[in-house]
Amino acid sequence: MGIATSGGAAVLVDKEVSSGSVSESSAPRSRGRIYVLDGLRLLAALMVVVYHFVPREGAWSVDAKGLFPAIFTPAAYGWLGVHLFFLISGFVICMSCWGRTLGDFFTSRVIRLFPAYWFAVLTTTVVLTLTRGNGPRLPLSTVLTNLTMLQEPMGVDHVDGIYWTLFAEMRFYLLFAALAWWGLTYRRVLVFCWVWVVASAIVYHADDGILRMLVMPEYSWLFIGGMACYLMHRFGPNLLLTLLFLVCFGGVLPSLHMSWSRVPRYIGHQLPYWPALVLLALFFVIMALVATDRLSWIKWRWLPYAGALTYPLYLLHQEIGRKIIHGLEPHMSPYAVLGVTIAIMLLAAWLVHRLIERPLSKKLKRGLTQALSQVRSASA
């Protein structure tokens, strides 16, 4: 979720004018939840879910295109949900960190990411172990390393392949944490965004290494685009932010084309490129509407609940969902199996949110707050 984003952060909007310009330290103009972001997060998660449950090879015992002729092609573009996740993440992380200390930012990310993730890793491990029969078991060392969320840079297999996006989020958090330690101002965030743009362009064709891993030029444009949207939302749009936003759209197109070219190996069928381009453009337009408050009228009360489902649903759905499909496939029609499986995963996501995320996050927050307070006292 982002695939790991914070759905409950309040919005702080500054638009005070000082001597004809926007003040970097202006007082908040208004507070309120951006409800549409919760809906967009669930939409992104469901796109990924449908992609893994319909066209992705291995979900069904036969070619899914024959089972789902009407929805196979639209579902085959569900991988673009990750792009929407990253756009939203850039917006929300910038929003949730503004005016907070580095310690607060660290605490908020830990309690948001890890409780549901730990549960997902352990639950997926149990399910895979119980359903593999005489097949190879997941090594205990692999499972334990996965609990750190650092398995990718350490060269360890993911318990569930969907976890790859979490390391991209963590790299974004690391870069943004350095900026938060310096102190967030309009000017610093804007400079940070433009420097990241230039660095992404420079290292795009560089060999794999630490610098390329940190800059992540394939997806950096999406995080930066989301941050540009938040700056528009907080301080108002201007030509510089608009150019940054458009540069990010153009910058992400080469990696979009590369991702599209890889899809046939996962679904066994060729797809036209233009729908991917149209969908990405639509995501950018929607985020621009969010940034300029054009969607502030959307305040449906069920949206925060939808947002709460997103992260657990994303973490749990792929491997566990496929096992459910394999179990139901001989007994029900394909569409019934798909509907029941998605319903089960949504229910599981809600239970994880209520029974795992909420109570464990409170305990983690209390413990981390005490630990950071101790560190500050010792340093003083």
Using one digit for the tens of pLDDT, what is the confidence trace for 304-336?
Answer: 999 999 999 999 999 999 999 999 999 999 999
Q: Give CA 272 to chain center in angstroms.
A: 25
Judge whether 40 lies within some domain: no
pLDDT the model gives residue 182? 87
| DSSP conformation class of 15 | -
| Residue entry with tokens 């200390």 | 101
Q: Whole-angstrom Cα distance, residue 97 to residue 106?
A: 9
Judge whether 176 lies within some domain: yes
CB atoms within 10 A of CB 122: 14
Contact status, residue 324 vs residue 342, Cβ threshold 8 Å: no
Length of the chain: 380
Please give the angle made by the CA atoms of 261, 243 and 92, to the nearest 5 degrees.
75
pLDDT the model gives residue 379? 75
Query: What would the pLDDT profile of 73-129 be if each residue is shown by its tens digit?
Result: 999 999 999 999 999 999 999 998 898 888 899 999 999 999 999 999 999 999 999
pLDDT the model gives residue 135? 67
pLDDT the model gives residue 14? 35
Query: What would the pLDDT profile of 150-167 be if each residue is shown by its tens digit?
Result: 999 999 999 999 999 999
Judge whether 149 lies within some domain: yes
Mean pLDDT, the chain, rounded, equals 90
Residue 41: closest CA among 91, 106, 77: 91
Residue 128: closest CA among 143, 113, 114, 141: 143
Q: Whole-angstrom Cα distance, residue 167 to residue 223?
A: 14
Q: Say whether pLDDT at 52 is over 50.
A: yes
pLDDT the model gives residue 134? 66
Q: What is the DSSP string of 295-353?
A: TTT---TTHHHHHHHHHHHHHHHHHHHHHHHHHHTTTS-HHHHHHHHHHHHHHHHHHHI
Judge whether 166 lies within some domain: yes
Judge whether 66 lies within some domain: yes
pLDDT the model gives residue 16? 32
Cβ contacts of residue 283 below 8 Å, gap of 6+? 80, 83, 84, 87
Query: What would the pLDDT profile of 335-360 be if each residue is shown by its tens digit?
Result: 999 999 999 999 999 999 999 999 99
Judge whether 242 lies within some domain: no
Q: Say whether pLDDT at 8 is over 80.
A: no
Cβ contacts of residue 349 below 8 Å, gap of 6+? 309, 310, 312, 313, 316
pLDDT the model gives residue 376? 83
pLDDT the model gives residue 41? 96
pLDDT the model gives residue 309? 95
Query: What would the pLDDT profile of 204-251 be if each residue is shown by its tens digit?
Result: 998 888 999 999 999 999 999 999 999 999 999 999 999 999 999 999
Judge whether 39 lies within some domain: no
Judge whether 314 lies within some domain: yes
Domains in the chain, number: 1
Classified as helix, coil or strand, 271 is: coil
Q: Say whether pLDDT at 375 is over 70.
A: yes
pLDDT the model gives residue 5? 44
Q: Whole-angstrom Cα distance, residue 206 to residue 103?
A: 34
Q: At what angle do helices 81-97 and 164-182 cross, to 10 degrees?
A: 20
